[in-house]
Amino acid sequence: MRTLIITRQRTAVGLFGGLMLLAAACFGSVHSDLFIEPSHQFVLGGGQRGAFMVVARNVGPTAVEALERPATGKLMSKAILKLGQQVTLRFASGSAAVLANPAATTAHLDLQITGDTDLSMSTEAKRP
């Protein structure tokens, strides 16, 4: 009889854990410890169905520019993050977040991404 109770408790815990994973997948939250090489930019998203939000904190020695690249492709500056600064950035569906490091040293950001987290990620040489 006791084994049956333990099994039921484990099943309940397993079911609860599965539901939590499903909720996390639907409502998405991603943490990233991001390093951007000198004269490069990190591109997050672009072409996704939903909007997303990025809370970015600059924990590195160099300033980083945050831009939005909508489907039209024209970059729009949203913020410049200096050492220790934190900003909340919202991006429309289909847009990409572009985090640019124009400096000669590696940039370091702490990111928390929510909303549509089914996002592509890439790095590229910084565009002028």
Strands (E), the chain: 29-36, 40-45, 52-58, 64-69, 76-81, 86-91, 96-101, 107-115, 121-125
**Each residue's pLDDT tens digit, 68-118:** 999 888 999 999 999 999 999 999 999 999 999 999 999 999 999 999 988
100 touches 41 (CB < 8 A):
yes
Q: Is there a contact between 94 and 52 (Cβ–Cβ < 8 Å)?
A: no
- The domain limits of the chain are 28-125
Nearest to 81 by CA among 103, 96, 59: 59
Is 11's pLDDT higher than 70?
no
pLDDT at 128 over 80: no
* Average of per-residue pLDDT across 4-33: 54
Q: What pLDDT digit, counting tens, does each position of 25-57 carry?
A: 445 789 999 999 999 999 999 999 999 999 999
Q: Specify the pTM.
A: 0.78
* The CATH homologous superfamily of the domain defined by 28-125: Jelly Rolls (2.60.120.10)
